[in-house]
Chain A
């Protein structure tokens, strides 16, 4: 049965691989989401494709930082909205270190 999973990223060194882990669950027929809570680098073409793929699989990658949304096309979310979204999740995965 499909699960709803949300990865949380607070360290820029872990965002890209954490998105890969989210995609890994998407392709296993889960609903995988991510939320970036730190300033991150610009995604390269390969990782932009991973982001598109997560979206194609009915997932999404959010950010509480407007600059990430401008630079990488992430979907804006407030901390309060993210908290509400996390209430719906089967798994909440703070990824890596902060």
Chain B
């Protein structure tokens, strides 16, 4: 199970905790949609490489 966590904004403590539990013992990658220019090409590649994507607020 490979999980991609996408962050639409800076993750708060709740999100960090949930991500920690959900990804424990699993392969996980992350992608930020905030704080600079977004490489959508890379994001789409990562979405298709992962088994599951979670887009946090």
- In Å, the complex CA distance between A94 and B54 comes to 8
Interface size on B, residues (CB 8 A): 14
Which one, A16-24, A45-53, A55-63, A82-90, is touching chain B? A82-90
Contacts of A82 in B (CB 8 A): 18
B57 is contacted by which of A86, A91, A98 (Cβ under 8 Å)?
A98
Known: A94-B56, A97-B57, A98-B57. A80 touches B12 (CB 8 A): no
Q: How far is the CA of A9 from the CA of B14 in the complex (A)?
A: 12
Give complex CA distance A84, B18 in Å.
Answer: 8
Q: A10-B14, A96-B57 are in contact. List 6 more A-B contacts (CB 8 A).
A: A64-B14, A79-B17, A80-B21, A86-B21, A94-B54, A94-B55
